[in-house]
Structure 1
Amino acid sequence: MQRRVMVATFGLLPCIVRAQGARPIRLIVPYSPGGATDILSRLLAPRLSESLEQPVVVENRAGGNSIVGTEAALRAAPDGQTLGMIDLAFVVNPAMYATLPYDAQRDAAPVGLVASAAQVLLLHPAVPARNLVELVALARARPGQLSFGSAGAGTAVRIAGEQLRIAAGLDILHVPYRGGGETLAAVTSGEVSMIFSGQAQAKQLADAGRARPLAITGARRGRRMPEVPSFAEAGFAGVDVVTINGLIAPAGTPPEVIRRLNAAVVQALRQPDLAQRLTELGFEIIGGTPEEFAAWTAAQLPKWDALVRTAAIRPE
């Protein structure tokens, strides 16, 4: 039944998207190049292009904790020619900002969730801690002297840092950057003491001796780095945030266009080579319907509102 539905979906609108010929679809990434969201988008774009029979071009629009790029995607014409790749900041930012230039539910048409990824805590090699217990003891002995970087106040890597700070009762300084690539450079240079990162980037830095992995968010170890204990193993089960990416379109995009875009996403994620590559990079494939994406958004907004209030997170 599912196969027949997908085939029927691909048969819809032969003239709405394809009639625009080779005009490229913009996929806006609200961060600078090099981070997990950017990497995921660049892997997905060629597969979407194959399914939609149109070029899909990734465009980086960094700034404002992902607000700049997300607003650009949501203010575009609702014709299926502009998509945005969101991450956890999409559902965290509404709790941090008294006003946003868009509404996460009213102004966005969910296309589909794409993938999630656990976060690895990485230390600069000069930090004298070999495990999470030692890091907590060090941070308590040096209040305010250790720092962690993130791609912005509402991102999963910032939320993970706040979960650790709250769970362990630490006084550590947050340093914001414009994207994941910049945070990786910050921890390897020693500009910050630690960051949270996806498994692929974390493994590369660990294997090169440029950063030390201590723990991974969630209840179980990651496939990419099975030697790294989970926060739950280390006694900090509350440090469980993962980054989740999904595609959105501007509100008002015709439902049939959304269905066709969603079918293209689902088809891309079912390609064995793409699925294998995403798994190698530490992603867990999600997929699903626009309705499931909308339900996820509705459930996440109050959850992160509570954490933002507890941690007193403010925009930088």
Structure 2
Amino acid sequence: MNRRDFNFLALATGSLAVLPAFAQDYPAKPIRMIIPSTPGGGTDFTGRQIATKLSEMNGWSVVPDNRPGAGTALGLAEAARARPDGYELVIAQSDNVSLIPLLMKVAYDPVKDLTPVALCAVTPLVILINENSPYKTLADLIKAAKAQPGKLTYGTSGTGGGVHIAMELLQLTAGARMQHVPYKGSTPALADLVGGHLNFAGSSISSAAGLIHSGKVRALAVTSAKRNASLPDVPAVAESGYKDFNAVSFYGVMGPAGIPAPIVARLNADINRILQRPDVKTAFQAQGFDAGGGTPEEFAALIRSEIQKSRDIIKTAGIKVE
């Protein structure tokens, strides 16, 4: 056991020793893990991994419950209204925490109404071109965009989503302008890229993995600060001369505001233990994810930082959701 794992375990053990009577027997009934998406995709994958491993490790009953709607905001709103007793948890991710609340009216404040429990995974987005594209590198693409401001088209899964924000950050960083073409999901955007109707596209790695491995699209760069283990030959944007560029999506467990601190500490310690398991790391890597970890306070700090970063990009780029 490394020092960080020991600290997490010690924190949980010490906290449980002083739990009031109602919390010493936690959990005394099934825990619901709200997954604010349809089955499939990164949010569902993360929720089911954590729910399954918590059940296996502790003998608990942790029940995944898909609650899609409102661009993944519905599930968070439901969690925010729940009793803060640790029996209603939710998978939060970048869009429903740091983007949607800035672009439309939602029934929760991600900072005031929810408790960060544990960061589970982070993943970059990937910049893709058609297999027959003349652009060989990200530098080639940026050069062409600067030579033809507003002419090159790129597709994303929708206006105001994580991919759109990342592409806007790239344009602001590189000093180039491209034409955004929003779609209702990544599948139609990638279909049009394969069909030659877009100059490039942004996507999650998990959504594009099949097309990348089949050779129908080529990955120019990932948007994290360093390369991703699932695409080791694909450079990070920072390697193309844009030092410190970093635009990633995150997934984590949250609950309603007011969950007793000892319960948060126990859940955090257990989830961190899960994320250190080799089988879990391998499963996450297959999705293009890096396993997360850390304290609830560190997760809260990440959320606040990402909200401010998104607010700045949205304002500068003038992004609005119709």
TM-score, with normalisation over the residues of structure 1? Answer: 0.84
Counterparts in 2 of 1:65 and 1:201: CA distance versus 1, 3 Å? closer
Distance (Å, rounded) in 2 between the aligned partners of 1:107 and 1:281: 30
Aligned counterpart, 1:310: 316
Counterparts in 2 of 1:53 and 1:185: CA distance versus 1, 3 Å? farther
Q: Which runs of 5 or more structure 2 residues have no equivalent in the other structure?
A: 1-5
The one-letter amino acid of 2:100's match is N
Aligned counterpart, 1:131: 137
Distance (Å, rounded) in 1 between the aligned partners of 2:68 and 2:159: 10
Q: Deviations over 1:56-100 (max 9, x none)?
A: 333333343432222122223333222211122212334334x43
The one-letter amino acid of 2:136's match is R
Task: Confirm whether residue 77 of structure 1 aligns to residue 83 of structure 2.
Answer: yes
Q: Deviations over 1:198-217 (max 9, x none)?
A: 44544432111232111111
Percent identity, please: 32
Give SS of 2:292's match.
Answer: strand
Q: Deviations over 1:107-129 (max 9, x none)?
A: 00111111211221122435443
The one-letter amino acid of 1:81's match is Y
Task: Confirm whether residue 109 of structure 1 aligns to residue 115 of structure 2.
Answer: yes
Q: Find the partner of 2:103 among 76, 96, 99.
A: 96
The one-letter amino acid of 1:119's match is L
Aligned counterpart, 2:126: 120
Q: CA deviation at 1:47?
A: 0.6
Aligned counterpart, 2:3: none
Contact 2:53/2:274 (CA < 8 Å) preserved in 1? yes
Task: Confirm whether residue 220 of structure 1 aligns to residue 226 of structure 2.
Answer: yes
Range with greater deviation from structure 2 (38-47 or 120-129): 120-129
Counterparts in 2 of 1:68 and 1:228: CA distance versus 1, 3 Å? same
Tell me how many residue pairs correspond in the alignment: 309
Q: CA RMSD in A?
A: 2.9
Counterparts in 2 of 1:229 and 1:107: CA distance versus 1, 3 Å? same
Counterparts in 2 of 1:228 and 1:75: CA distance versus 1, 3 Å? same
Task: Confirm whether residue 143 of structure 1 aligns to residue 153 of structure 2.
Answer: no
Contact 2:12/2:265 (CA < 8 Å) preserved in 1? no
Contact 2:123/2:289 (CA < 8 Å) preserved in 1? yes
Distance (Å, rounded) in 1 between the aligned partners of 2:198 and 2:86: 40
Distance (Å, rounded) in 2 between the aligned partners of 1:291 and 1:120: 29
Q: Which runs of 5 or more structure 1 residues have no equivalent in the other structure?
A: none
Q: Deviations over 1:262-286 (max 9, x none)?
A: 2221121122211232234332222
Q: CA deviation at 1:184?
A: 5.1
Distance (Å, rounded) in 1 between the aligned partners of 2:195 and 2:55: 37
Aligned counterpart, 1:169: 176
Contact 1:112/1:288 (CA < 8 Å) preserved in 2? yes
Range with greater deviation from structure 2 (290-299 or 112-121): 290-299
The one-letter amino acid of 1:209's match is G
Distance (Å, rounded) in 2 between the aligned partners of 1:189 and 1:14: 58
Q: Deviations over 1:165-207 (max 9, x none)?
A: 32342231241435x5665556556675543334454443211
Contact 2:156/2:203 (CA < 8 Å) preserved in 1? no
Q: Find the partner of 2:258 among 252, 273, 276.
A: 252
Aligned counterpart, 2:268: 262
Task: Confirm whether residue 15 of structure 1 aligns to residue 21 of structure 2.
Answer: no
Q: Deviations over 1:211-268 (max 9, x none)?
A: 2111111343222222212212223346420111111101132333322222221121
Counterparts in 2 of 1:237 and 1:182: CA distance versus 1, 3 Å? farther
Aligned counterpart, 2:54: 48
